[in-house]
Chains A and B, each alone.
Chain A
C-alpha cells in the first residue's frame, strides 16, 4: 500500500466516525428542549445517529475512487454490508424502545390513524427493512441481479427521504436554522451521490463509448472481450483492476457488471476483459457482435502489484475466473520487462476448465515465471498438483528465507477463505496478502 493510501485510509475512517456521530453531537448544541426520560432520549439518539450512518452508505457505494483506493472495493462493500446491520438496529431500536416503554407510542404504528410525522417514520423503516431483506435473500428469491440493484438504490433513496421528512416533521432538536441546514445537507448529499452514480457517471460513459473489436473463445467457458475507445484516448488502469461493463443497454439503465481487465496495462487505447460464463449476462458475451457500442466505467480496485513496488517475489493464486486479473498482471510484466520471480498457482476443476494454458506456457519463457496447474479432478496419469490449494501445497511454493514476497489471491469465496489463513499460518505477513473477491453485491 502506498504511504499516501495509508494516510487517506485513516483520514476517511476518522471522517466516517465524525459524520456518523455528528447528528448526535448536534443534539447537545444550541437551543435544546427540556430533558425527558433517559429511555426516550436514548430512542431519539438512536434515531439521529441512525440517519447519520444511513447517509454514509451513499458515500460507501458511490464508487468514489479516492474513498475506495486505500482499502479496495471489496473491503468497502464488505464494510457496507456489515455496517448495514448497525443501521437497521438503530432504525428499529428508535421506535421499538418507544413502543415498549410508552403505550401511546404503539398507536403510531397504525398508518391510517397516526399523524403524518409518524407515518413517514413507519414508511422509512418499511423501506429499509425491504431493502435489507432483499439484499440478504436475493439469491433465495431468485431476484435478477440488475433488478435487485435498481430496487436496492430506489429503496435506499426512499428510506432516506422518508426519514428526513419524519425528522423535520417531529422537529425536536432541529429547531435552529443551522441544525436544519446541516440536516438538509445530509439529505442533499445522499441524493447528490445517487445522482453522481446514476446520472453523472452514465453521462460520462455515454460521452466515452467503446466498440467491441474481438470476442474470442478461450478454454474453460471463458471469453476474451476486446474493446477500443471511440473518439477518445481510452482509460489507464493498473494490472489487476476491474471496470463495470454495460452492453446492449444505456449506461443510465444501470445494467452493468464488474469484470477484471485481462490485458496489459501498458497497452494504449484498447482494453481486454476475460469473462467466464457464470451467470445470465456472462452467458451472452459470446453473442456480442464486433462493432457493438458498449460502455466502461473504471478503473476500480486496489488489487494490483503496482501498489507494492518493492516486491522481490510474487505468488499469484487464481481459482476459476480469478485468472483474469492474473493475466493482466503477467501480460503487463512482459511489456515492462519485469523479471521479478513469480509463481502462478491456478486452480480449476479439470484440465479443460483451465483457460489460457498455451499462453501461460509461452509466458514462462518470457518471464521469470513458474505456472502450477492445480486440478480438482485430474486426468489419469496427471503428474502435477491436484485437489484444492492447501497449506501443505502452498508450503512447497513459498520461497524460504526473509524475502519481500507479495501474494495475490483471486477466486471463489470458499477458496479465498481457505487459502488466506493457510498463508498466514505459513508466516506470510497479512499486509502482503492481497485479495480480490468477485462478489461485490
Chain B
C-alpha cells in the first residue's frame, strides 16, 4: 500500500515538475 502511494506520488510529482517547467518556459519565452 505504502509503496503504491509512493509510486503514485512519483507520477504526480513528475507531472507537476514537467508542467511547471513548461509553464516557466512559456513565461520566460515571452519575457521582453
Interface positions of A (Cβ within 8 A of B): 13, 16-17, 20-21, 24-25, 27-28, 32-42, 44-46, 49, 53, 71-72, 74-75, 78-79, 82-83, 86, 89-90, 420, 424, 430-431, 433, 435
Contact = CB atoms under 8 A, between A and B. Distances in A.
Interface residues of B, number: 23
Contact of A41 (B2, B6, B25): B25
10 closest residue pairs by CB, A with B: A430-B1, A35-B31, A45-B21, A41-B25, A42-B25, A38-B29, A82-B10, A41-B28, A79-B6, A45-B25
B8 to A, nearest CB: 10
A49 B21 contact: yes
B20 A49 contact: yes
Contacts of A39: 25
Contacts of B16: 17, 21
Given A13-B9, A72-B2, 14 more contacts: A21-B16, A24-B21, A35-B28, A36-B28, A37-B29, A38-B25, A38-B26, A40-B29, A41-B26, A45-B25, A74-B3, A79-B10, A90-B17, A430-B1
Given A32-B31, A420-B1, A86 B22 contact: no
A78 B6 contact: yes
B25 A44 contact: yes
Nearest to B7: A82
10 contacts: A17-B16, A27-B28, A34-B31, A35-B31, A38-B25, A38-B26, A44-B28, A79-B9, A83-B14, A86-B14
A372 B13 CA distance: 42
Is chain A's binding surface mostly helix, strand, loop or mixed?
helix
Q: Main SS of the interface on chain B?
A: helix
Contacts of A431: 1
A431 B1 CA distance: 8
Given A21-B20, A24-B20, A27-B28, A78 B3 contact: yes
Contacts of B6: 71, 75, 78-79, 82
A89 to B, nearest CB: 8
B25 A20 contact: no
Contacts of B2: 71-72, 75, 435
Nearest to A72: B2
Contacts of A32: 28, 31
Contact of B17 (A13, A21, A420): A21
Contacts of B31: 32-35
Nearest to A37: B29
Given A45-B22, A75-B6, A433 B13 contact: no
Contact of A46 (B3, B21, B27, B32): B21
Contacts of A16: 13
A20 B1 contact: no
A82 B4 CA distance: 11
A32 B25 CA distance: 12
Nearest to B5: A75
A20 B3 contact: no
A86 B27 CA distance: 23
B28 A28 contact: yes
B16 to A, nearest CB: 7
A35 B29 contact: yes
A33 B29 CA distance: 10
A75 B1 CA distance: 10
A237 to B, nearest CB: 21
A53 B14 CA distance: 10
Contacts of A424: 1
B12 to A, nearest CB: 9
Contacts of B7: 78, 82
A420 B4 CA distance: 11
Nearest to A1: B2
Nearest to A26: B24
Nearest to B16: A17
B7 to A, nearest CB: 6
Nearest to A77: B6
A28 B20 contact: no
A90 B13 CA distance: 13
A41 B29 contact: yes
Given A28-B24, A41-B25, A34 B1 contact: no
Contacts of B9: 13, 79
A53 B32 CA distance: 29
B10 A86 contact: yes
